[in-house]
Amino acid sequence: MTWKQTISIILPCYREEKNIYSTYSKLLDVLKKIKKYDFEIIFVNDGSPMNDWFEIKKITKIDENVKGLNLSRNFGKEIAITAWIEFSKWDAIITIDADWQHPVDKIPEFISAWEEWYEIVYNKRPNIKWASFLKTFSSKIFYYFFNKISDFKLEPSTTDYRLLDRKVVDVFISFKEKNRIYRGLVDWLGFSKKAIVFDALPNQEWRKASYSFFKLFKLAMDSITSFSLLPLKIVWYMWILITFCSFFLLIFMIIDRNLENKLHFSNIALAVVINTLLIWIVLVSLWLIALYIANIHEEVLNRPLYIIKDKINIK
Instruction: Assess if CATH 3.40.50.1970 describes domain 5-213+305-312.
Output: no
pLDDT number for residue 109 = 93
How confident is residue 138, by pLDDT bands cut at 50, 70 and 90? Answer: low
pTM: 0.70
Amino acid at site 191 = F
For residue 98, name the pLDDT band (cuts at 50, 70, 90).
confident
pLDDT-based confidence at residue 206 (cuts at 50, 70, 90): very low
Mean pLDDT of 147-168: 81
193 bridge partner residues: 120
pLDDT at residue 112, rounded to an integer: 93
**Picking from 55-59, 64-68, 72-76, 283-287, which range would have the lowest pLDDT averaged per residue?**
283-287
- Residue 1: the pLDDT is 42
User: Does the pLDDT value for residue 163 go beyond 60?
Assistant: yes
User: What ranges do the domains of the chain cover?
Assistant: 5-213+305-312, 230-301
Q: Find the mean pLDDT for residues 228-240.
A: 64
